[in-house]
Amino acid sequence: MSQSIIQLADNLPSENITISALKALDFVVPGEWQNTVGFANMVREITGKKDPDKIQKISERALWIYNDESLGYQKAIWLYQIVDNADSAMGMAAMANKVSQSISFLGFLNKLTPKADTIQSVDLCIKLVAELIAFCILNRIPIYSIPDFVKALPNYHNEAVMRMAALVCFDGLIPLGPDFLQVSGRTINGLNPAMLEQNPVFQKVSGLIPGNNAQNKLGFISQTFNSAQGWMGNLVSSRGLKPASILGKLQGFVDVADDKLDYVAAFLDMTTNYYEHTGIQTVSRYLINEAAQQVKK
């Protein structure tokens, strides 16, 4: 890895479009996510330690653990980064710095290319699989277990549940509509393996998805999505989530009509990296907890 976990955490932004977009979803998972940046700050928040020497020892131990590639923390970071990097291939870095002002879409419509429903559905399902794989890596589950992942989803908290809420809202409801689960289910269950192999996100992460060919990997993706549908559907129904309600929260910094939701989705793809941002926070949390236990012993 080019950067250590401490550098990654220290370099997390305190404000940009990603942060504003995630803050707009606080109503979905109230009070769960705070944008804590800086590794030392994370150590203080997670462990409650205030002694600089103890914070330093935990940080040093966390770095040592992270550098042990056999433990998989670096692989988890790579997964969170890669799904965002593929999504942001058309990214406009300059737009990410305009968080302090409302952004009108009128000047950007000709630069945005909304994804077809098929591509959007596949991306959603692959992001879900990436979350499953990272979860299993971080929890030392040797075989990527769909039942263990689905069982854990109701117990997700902090940045992890915010990441899943963003997945449902930004990659599901906004681009695909209120029936996104049905749309994505039909798409992934009826997808030709050859079409899957053309997806750029799949091309990046296919080596980590169980299966010795595209057909088997597609089966695993489909099974993961079908198994997690219940949790996602419950989140939508229990919070009364609708595309319009999410857009209403986003309109605090994005000025766009509600008949342009596919362009909102393209805009979010271009300007946010919520998977990477919250993924770094998640990996940091696991590392800090493990390091704190080791230092205590």
The model's pTM: 0.91
Q: How far apart are CA 147 and CA 169, in angstroms?
A: 23
From residue 202, give the alpha-carbon distance in Å to each of 30, 79, 135, 196.
32, 11, 18, 7
Confidence of residue 200 (pLDDT cuts 50, 70, 90): confident
Instruction: Report residue 97's pLDDT band, with 50, 70 and 90 as the boundaries.
Output: very low
Query: 201 falls in which pLDDT band (50, 70, 90)?
Result: confident
Question: Mean of the pLDDT values across residues 219-224?
Answer: 97
Residue with tokens 């609708």: 242
Q: Work out the pLDDT band at 116, boundaries 50, 70, 90.
A: confident
Give the pLDDT confidence score for residue 85 in this predicted structure.
Answer: 75
| Tens of pLDDT, residues 38-96 | 999 999 999 999 999 999 999 999 999 999 999 999 999 999 999 887 655 433 433 44
